[in-house]
Structure 1
Amino acid sequence: MQVLVQPILVFVLLWGESGAVDARPNIVFVLADDYGFHDIGYHGSRIRTPNLDKLATEGVRLENYYVQPICTPTRSQLMSGRYQIHTGLQHSIIHPAQPNGLPLNSPTLADKMKEGGYATHMVGKWHLGFYKQEYLPTNRGFDSYYGYLTGAEDYLTHKRSGFLDLHDNLDPVFNETGHYSAQLFTQKASDVIMAHDSTKSPLFLYLAYQSVHGPLEVPEHYMEQYRDIKDTKRRTYAGMVTCMDEGIGNLTSALKTAGLWDNTVFIFSTDNGGQIYEGGNNYPLRGWKGSLWEGGLHGVGFVHSPLLHKQGYVNRALIHVSDWFPTIVGLARGFLNGTLPLDGFDQWRTISKDAPSPRKELLHNIDILYGRSGSPRYPDTFDTRIRAALRVGDYKLITGNPGNSSWIPPPELQDLRDTTDASTGKPANHPDSDHRLLFRPSDQNVWLFNITADPEERHDLSDSLPEVVQQLLSRLLYYNSTVVPPRFPKEDPNASPGKHGGVWGPWE
């Protein structure tokens, strides 16, 4: 007879003036949207981010940290701890009218935190599906939710395609028109912090800013310090970044005022690379949002906490957004029972003590629905026409169509625009003035890079190291054998908010 032993949660309690206090750390996770790799002060940006810089410099900067190239996949891997090929979300994003969502067959990060006795709250962008009530944040482990369900909207009207998308738990919010979302979401997150009773439970707060995703909107005074930036989109974007940075400063002040800061692990991440067309920048990395180049998925990230054993250093261990699930549950002294097999690793020792990363490889994605490119290059292994990317050790392999391949410096680097090479039409002293770097042969569908030695992906090694290409293709073939079918249904006309009181929300 099999005996089932249920795990027993043991919480360490301290006795303070107000009673017993759970000693487990509060976890605050802040996710920025479309935030470019170049666009933080400590990466040499013209954009001022004093609060982010201070937190990162005092904490642990993650400089070998990866997310996904677009919104939904990163959020799905954060909340599930599983690669998108294992949740069916490997193609594109969840569009507002699609009957789609993060599958219900495995608990979310919030579910596990709530199971472990944490108070769980979310503010900001969801983008993991809402076509049925059971896909809403408050049915995926969050005690409360304030924010929007789709992928993008106006910062001031809080509308998408003319219809409202702002919710307080299950109720639409009609009275916040004109309240800029970065400031609104900071206020709501700070309200959660100030209302939290630490004698009853530790806090898990997930703040997913709308910033700095398009449309490009910000109160005028945030742009005044960037009058020297002539590019209008870049100037507005810079103001949006600074407004978000101010919000993060206000959020940390609220944690200190509430007496929570000394027992908090504060995590910051972007969801993907910056969108060049919307003012973002990833220089000197190659590519941008939506691409499989480093500019699309090498993320800005850091951890700040008094609980870190080692602080004020740069961590270069391989870490992925899916790793936050087991890492955070581990910090909460929770259990991973009940989940489907995770692709993430507990990275707390790696981050806190600079120990070696347990992650030796990283699947960026395999997308069989993306248009195939070129002809198969290697027989009897992974089809190189398919859009995919994989990192193993120092090496990164890309197959199929990786997306835009350019290196784009930020417009404010005037010294790169002083003179023009007549033969290329590019600045003579521009590091990418050789146009041959910017375009790939139309039939090429395999690239190999040593990312450690060549983080800017300028030296393709696929021809000189065919044996490494074959080894990584065999790993892609293995991962492809574990793929679940992509979930990408047609848009449903019944989703129209015009049929539901003018508000985006569940329709089935």
Structure 2
Amino acid sequence: MAYNNNYLLPIKRLGQACLLAGLGLSTLSMGAVAEDKPERPNIVIMLSDNLGYGDLGSYGGGITRGAPTPRLDALAEEGMRFTNFNVEAECTPSRSSLMTGRMPIRSGTTRAVPVPGLPVGLAPWEYTIAEMLKDQGYNTAMYGKWHLGYVEDRLPINQGFDEWWGFPFSTDVSWFPDAVGFDPDLFETPRLYEGKAGEGIKLLQPYDKTVRPFIDSIIAEKSVAYIKEHAGDEEPFFLYIPWSLVHHPSIAHPDFQGKSGAGKYGDAMMEHDHRVGQVLDAIKEAGISDNTLVIYASDNGPDRAEYPYVGNSGQYRGYLGTVHEGSIRTPMIARWPNKIPAKVATNEIVSINDIFPTVASIVGGEVPDDRAIDGVDQKDFFLGKQEKSNRESVLFLAGEHITGVKWRQFKIYMHGESPDIDKRGYQELWAPQAYNLQLDPQERHDIALQNLWLLAAGLKPVFEYVYSVEKYGLILPGGDKPEVYEVSNIPFYSPEALELTMSSIKKEAVKQMIKDKFNQLVGKEGK
């Protein structure tokens, strides 16, 4: 298969940066230089859990689902509403990407964190968005679900947060103590956590079904108190609020039970909307709305655990654990008055990986240059200074499987999966599949054989990923630093074919590096 030179441009740029570093010339990280003087707004990121694309009124749900969402709909009117925001297939990978700006496969966080006590989760070697903001003088706090490790050096207070109240696991653990045959000697009863940086962690009451209905009311209460306490500080704050709702078991606060027309999930959805509104009200009442960037999103689409009382994927198909649009396309809203345009909806491709470098660019923070960063700086796009996103593709993995690539309005699959409500699992494909998402949002009509040219678009991000792994490596689950430097399983490519392809790409990249360096030196001498 032949490729034109444009295919190599991202790899050439990567190689050029490496060559300059080798020659002793400095490279600047993303966000280190900005056209405008960096600002330091307060930053509030709220992340819902397992909320579907079609759950909010502003995304086609709300009252039509029997659960109105007036506060989130108003937030969408006040800022930018993203209709092509892309996350990972499961909770832990999405949260890892948000924290690091890196695909979770690089961090060993590809699946939900398993049994507590094991040294799995986000390695201390990783540099989180909280650490970046802390280095810029921000006060930092988190209230809610972490899901990126259980051992203390992998908990939020050792990953850039000054303080944390919440839980390190998923909400379904509240089911465990009531399960038939549950043995607390085998699996310790899950508890809530609280801690401050430098002071360690304190275990609180058990997280069971008696506590579950009150979790988000406590998260909201603590978040509101934090905003009131720090609104007048000289230094800005970063507040991360990963809610427990609307994850199963969907047990709303007693004040909301029976309030919707959609059963227990609808009740939980209405409570979630109310809790978000409490945080927004606190920002307004503190008089800091104009100087606060608010980002709201969901970590992935709905799960199937309590069907039919589950979230809605809108016009898309797929549930948690798949990379079909119903799982990886979720609501995202960004508001920053007089900075981010209001009443704007965009279908440009944005990834959860982009949040880290975009925030870094806004505040003048640094993004590490000693590792692969998959996010791109979307500052000018978010601020309305350009119409187009700075990305046109996203690479998706389900666990460690390279599953597919979204490119422009197309999705190319290299690994099969079962996205329907009663099916789970992955399978090898005889040939790649491709779908036009604008014409076929449910991804039912394969157009690959009529459009084989799409494979070039699909393979480009895959080869870039393979190239970056050879340079930077991958962290194994529970690992401390990168230690794997090869990708052995690329769909439709034997190891020999992959090596031949990568060798050709590397040769072209080196040639271009030398040419670029020569032109740079000649240009300097000619001045």
1:93 equivalent in structure 2: 112
Aligned equivalent of 2:462, options 476, 479, 485: 476
- The answer to whether the 8 Å contact 1:96/1:150 transfers is no
Instruction: Return 398-407 or 199-208, whichever deviates more.
Output: 398-407
* 1:89, distance to aligned residue in structure 2 (A): 2.4
Q: Write the deviation string for residues 101-136 of structure 1: whole angstroms up to 9, x where unpaired.
A: 1122231100000000011111100011122x2211
Q: Write the deviation string for residues 267-290 of structure 1: whole angstroms up to 9, x where unpaired.
A: 000000111333122132011111
| CA distance in 1: counterparts of 2:340 and 2:119, whole angstroms | 45
1:137 equivalent in structure 2: 156
- The answer to whether the 8 Å contact 1:326/1:346 transfers is yes
- The answer to whether the 8 Å contact 1:387/1:402 transfers is no
1:363 aligns with 2:395: yes
- The answer to whether the 8 Å contact 1:274/1:296 transfers is yes
| CA distance in 1: counterparts of 2:287 and 2:109, whole angstroms | 39
Query: Normalization by structure 2: what TM-score?
Result: 0.73
* 1:336, distance to aligned residue in structure 2 (A): 2.2
| CA distance in 2: counterparts of 1:466 and 1:478, whole angstroms | 20
1:487 equivalent in structure 2: 476
| CA distance in 2: counterparts of 1:405 and 1:23, whole angstroms | 45
SS in structure 1 opposite 2:124?
coil
* 1:456, distance to aligned residue in structure 2 (A): 2.7
| CA distance in 2: counterparts of 1:340 and 1:350, whole angstroms | 25
| CA distance in 2: counterparts of 1:439 and 1:155, whole angstroms | 26
1:146 equivalent in structure 2: 165
* 1:192, distance to aligned residue in structure 2 (A): 1.0
Q: Write the deviation string for residues 403-431 of structure 1: whole angstroms up to 9, x where unpaired.
A: 324699xxxxxxxxxxxxxxxxxxxxxxx
| CA distance in 1: counterparts of 2:175 and 2:290, whole angstroms | 34
Taking a change above 3 Å as real, the CA distance of residues 108 and 486 of structure 1, as seen in their structure-2 partners, is closer
Aligned equivalent of 2:249, options 180, 203, 215: 215
| CA distance in 2: counterparts of 1:113 and 1:158, whole angstroms | 38
SS in structure 1 opposite 2:330?
coil
| CA distance in 1: counterparts of 2:149 and 2:114, whole angstroms | 8
> What does 1:301-340 correspond to in 2, within 5 Å?
301-337=332-368, 340=371
**Letter paired with 1:135:** R
SS in structure 2 opposite 1:166?
strand
* 1:477, distance to aligned residue in structure 2 (A): 3.9
- The answer to whether the 8 Å contact 1:33/1:213 transfers is yes
Aligned equivalent of 2:411, options 396, 400, 405: 396
Taking a change above 3 Å as real, the CA distance of residues 486 and 365 of structure 1, as seen in their structure-2 partners, is farther
| CA distance in 2: counterparts of 1:238 and 1:44, whole angstroms | 15
1:269 aligns with 2:301: no
1:372 equivalent in structure 2: none
1:42 aligns with 2:58: yes
* 1:442, distance to aligned residue in structure 2 (A): 8.7
- The answer to whether the 8 Å contact 2:189/2:206 transfers is no
SS in structure 2 opposite 1:267?
strand
Aligned equivalent of 2:437, options 451, 471, 475: 451
Aligned equivalent of 2:280, options 244, 252, 255: 252
- The answer to whether the 8 Å contact 1:117/1:201 transfers is yes
Aligned equivalent of 1:117, options 131, 137, 152: 137
- The answer to whether the 8 Å contact 1:106/1:338 transfers is no
1:165 aligns with 2:191: yes
| CA distance in 1: counterparts of 2:27 and 2:86, whole angstroms | 37
* 1:310, distance to aligned residue in structure 2 (A): 2.0
Q: Write the deviation string for residues 72-118 of structure 1: whole angstroms up to 9, x where unpaired.
A: 1000000001112322223x221133421112223110000000001
Taking a change above 3 Å as real, the CA distance of residues 84 and 337 of structure 1, as seen in their structure-2 partners, is closer
* 1:479, distance to aligned residue in structure 2 (A): 2.0
Q: Write the deviation string for residues 482-502 of structure 1: whole angstroms up to 9, x where unpaired.
A: 444573469xxxxxxxxxxxx
> What does 1:193-232 correspond to in 2, within 5 Å?
193-196=227-230, 198-227=232-261, 229=262
Instruction: Return 310-319 or 95-104, whichever deviates more.
Output: 95-104
Alignment gaps of 5+ in structure 2: 1-22, 179-183, 196-200, 480-527
Aligned equivalent of 2:126, options 96, 106, 130: 106
Query: Normalization by structure 1: what TM-score?
Result: 0.76
2:40 equivalent in structure 1: 24
* 1:175, distance to aligned residue in structure 2 (A): 8.9
Over the residues paired in the alignment, what is the CA RMSD in angstroms? 3.4
**Letter paired with 1:203:** F
- The answer to whether the 8 Å contact 1:59/1:302 transfers is yes
Taking a change above 3 Å as real, the CA distance of residues 194 and 309 of structure 1, as seen in their structure-2 partners, is closer
**Letter paired with 1:37:** Y
* 1:155, distance to aligned residue in structure 2 (A): 6.5
Q: Write the deviation string for residues 286-308 of structure 1: whole angstroms up to 9, x where unpaired.
A: 11111111011001111112132
**Letter paired with 1:125:** K
| CA distance in 1: counterparts of 2:100 and 2:448, whole angstroms | 33
| CA distance in 2: counterparts of 1:332 and 1:440, whole angstroms | 41
| CA distance in 1: counterparts of 2:390 and 2:28, whole angstroms | 27
Instruction: Return 145-154 or 210-219, whichever deviates more.
Output: 145-154
Taking a change above 3 Å as real, the CA distance of residues 29 and 158 of structure 1, as seen in their structure-2 partners, is farther
Taking a change above 3 Å as real, the CA distance of residues 306 and 407 of structure 1, as seen in their structure-2 partners, is farther
Alignment gaps of 5+ in structure 1: 11-21, 230-234, 369-385, 409-437, 491-508
SS in structure 2 opposite 1:299?
strand
Over the matched positions of the two proteins, sequence identity in percent amounts to 27
- The answer to whether the 8 Å contact 2:404/2:458 transfers is no
* 1:349, distance to aligned residue in structure 2 (A): 1.5
Taking a change above 3 Å as real, the CA distance of residues 361 and 9 of structure 1, as seen in their structure-2 partners, is closer
* 1:224, distance to aligned residue in structure 2 (A): 2.7
1:461 aligns with 2:447: yes
SS in structure 1 opposite 2:302?
coil
Instruction: Return 143-152 or 175-184, whichever deviates more.
Output: 175-184
Taking a change above 3 Å as real, the CA distance of residues 154 and 194 of structure 1, as seen in their structure-2 partners, is farther
Taking a change above 3 Å as real, the CA distance of residues 59 and 407 of structure 1, as seen in their structure-2 partners, is farther
2:221 equivalent in structure 1: 187
**Letter paired with 1:365:** L
**Letter paired with 1:58:** E
* 1:391, distance to aligned residue in structure 2 (A): 1.6
Which structure carries more helix by proportion?
A: 2
* 1:470, distance to aligned residue in structure 2 (A): 4.7
